[in-house]
Chains A and B, each alone.
Chain A
Amino acid sequence: MKIADLKKYSKQIIVVAVIVVVCIILAALKPGKDTLLSMTSPEMQKMIDADKSSSRKRVTITYNSMLIINYVSLSTSGANVMSERYVGFLGKVYPADEGAMKVVGQMVNYSYRMLGIGENLMHGAKLTILLTTLTVIFGVLLGTILALGKISKKKILSKLSGAYIFFFRGTPLLIQIFVVYFTVPGIFGFAWRDFFNAADTEAVYKGAFMAALIAFGLNSGAYCAEIVRSAIQSIDKGQFEASKALGMNYAQTMTRIIIPQSIRRMIPNVSNEFIMVLKDASLVFAISLMDITTISKNIMTSEGSYLVFIPALVIYLLITALFGFIFDKIEKKFSVYE
């Protein structure tokens, strides 16, 4: 990056640097897990000790550490119901069973769960981002092939691509997910999790994720095909003619002249598609994966807390903002061709 560029962003850089430094300081001052756990009441401690020798444990200990703040909750199940919550912030531990600290604790816990921290890649925000990104990449690649097929002069190719697009745009994504995950293995007698090591306990989620990715990719391909086709066809006909006059063949014309120019025209629509997929990703609830929406809905039904939707919205907006920024950069980069 040139010095001039850096200067342009100097204000932003200072703000980011200050935030980072403050976060580091706050993170260093946050009490540790043991400090939080040492606050537990003697009754709870007794339950924890009893659990050590029992085959049916009763105490659930949740520890959520998020950068500058951390949260511990201890709750018991069975006849003797107890629960205690603590929030650690800036070297102090606050009880979080009621009042404002309770809300703070809930926010930390909900965000932690929705971001999927401490979980595998197929959980929460990680799942949403991973699935959306892979889907759009796959969709654009497949869409380009389909678009070239559709505008091809070969009748069969054009008809086949048209039929594919017609099928995948004309049926609901949810049903496509069901078909890929339930119907196809049912008919052909395989299980998605068999593609992974049987000893791997996460295999069932990986299998479901693979099925989801296939369904999303195939579906997105159809939408992207139309995006790519419209971008290609929006390029002036004169460009084709000029390439032909220069002696380029069809493949050269496409790869060197037309597609580079059409990318810029595609970006806004692909960015749209990306945001659509980001939100459609919540459909994975149907095949037992947990994305941001599903987790927030679960929290809502099990705890009756409507506050959970606030961090959910913030997380979605952050993801959209991040990718909106990336798409902006790509668009700028490709606008040099025009």
Chain B
Amino acid sequence: MKKRIVAALCAAMMVLGLSACGAGNAGGQSAGQSSGEDKPAASTIDVSGAKLMSDGVLSVGCEVGYPPFEDFAEDGTTPIGYDIDIITAVAEKLGLKANIINTAWDGIFAGIGVNYDVTCSAVTITPERQETMIFSTPYINNYQAVVLLADDDRKVESFNDLDGLSIALQKETTSDILMSDYKSTGTIDVQIVANEKVTSCFTQLQNGEVDAVVVDSTVADGYINSSDAFKIVYKDESEPEQFGIAMAPDNTELQKAINQALAELEAEGFIKETYDYWFGATAAE
């Protein structure tokens, strides 16, 4: 218990509110991993210099419960999702076996180098986080998006159009920070309804408690894919956020190896293919 509190404390300080964390349950995407599983590792990248907790295994901390990035399949034990596919393919490139360790978002960064080698859990690369950990090259771009009910014909062309509305968002995420800033600076007058889970936001929208949801565009894409009750009306493309794989600051060898693996996967078209599988080809930029 004590350990957990300390871990939560450390993580909270690191997070400083900037996060792309959360959980959800869009459902509908219970199919197995997309591809790349049985490809023979043609050229294994050398990882002899990297620090790993156990030989031949890349252990990955992941908050499983944030579809479509990571979620349990319907059997309740197999992690599936975009992040899982990416990290499995990366591990394969490195000649390692990926071992996914499910962990709570609170304290996820405190576990790097303690309970697992890397964190691959829809982690936004931020300057604050870069002070305490290092990141791979980004493997996906994310934007802040506004989601409305499908039959709502309100026009939203920027966040300023949310003036006077009630919006739901997930607590302590980039969406929360952004909208709180719009409100506290007096740019717009908006009622912010902050929830612990991103799923609560969508339930509130569906029940009519709020007018709109502000959320990561990638998560929104996942919801739109699985339900036609919602629609994305606005994506703030001026400020993209990038997700990266996080690791301990002294593990530069591993960072180099992972970056090379990601570059190879990109070149092979694997990343694009996986993206289309999880987020739908229409959602691709």
Contact = CB atoms under 8 A, between A and B. Distances in A.
A303 B13 CA distance: 7
Interface string B178-195: 000110111101010111
Contacts of A193: 166, 208-209
Contacts of A185: 207-209
B16 interface: yes
Among A300, A301, A303: residue with most chain B CB under 10 A: A301
A55 B16 contact: no
Contact of B185 (A58, A192, A203, A208): A58
B191 A194 contact: no
Interface residues of B, number: 34
Nearest to B181: A77
Contacts of B64: none
Nearest to A205: B191
B7 interface: no
B209 A207 contact: yes
A204 B185 contact: no
Most B CB contacts (10 A, CB to CB) among A58, A191, A302 go to A302
A285 B196 contact: yes
Interface string A274-288: 000000000001101
Given A302-B16, A304-B16, A201 B166 contact: yes
A2 interface: no
A49 interface: no
B164 interface: yes
Q: How many of chain A's residues touch chain B, expressed as a range?
A: 20 to 34
B208 A194 contact: yes
Given A298-B172, A301-B172, A306-B9, A202 B191 contact: yes
A91 interface: no
B189 A201 contact: yes
A10 interface: no
B188 to A, nearest CB: 9
Most-contacted residue by chain B among A59, A77, A285 (CB, 10 A)? A77
B9 A303 contact: no
Contact of A303 (B16, B160, B168, B200): B16
A59 B185 CA distance: 5
A53 to B, nearest CB: 13
A62 interface: yes
Contacts, number: 80
A255 B75 CA distance: 59
B245 interface: no
Interface in B150-208: 160, 164, 166, 168, 171-172, 177, 181-182, 184-187, 189, 191, 193-196, 200, 203-204, 206-208
B15 interface: yes
A300 B12 contact: yes
A288 B204 contact: yes
B191, B209, B210: which has the most chain A beta carbons within 10 Å?
A: B209
A89 B236 CA distance: 43
Nearest to A60: B184
Contacts of A205: 191, 193
Q: Report, nearest first, the 6 A-B pairs whose CB atoms are least far apart.
A: A302-B17, A304-B13, A191-B208, A57-B185, A60-B184, A204-B166
Interface of A: 51, 55-60, 62, 77, 182, 185-186, 191-194, 201-205, 207-208, 285-286, 288, 290, 298, 300-304, 306
22 contacts: A57-B186, A77-B181, A77-B185, A182-B203, A185-B207, A186-B203, A191-B207, A192-B209, A201-B166, A204-B191, A204-B193, A205-B191, A288-B194, A290-B194, A298-B172, A298-B194, A300-B12, A301-B12, A301-B17, A304-B14, A304-B15, A306-B9
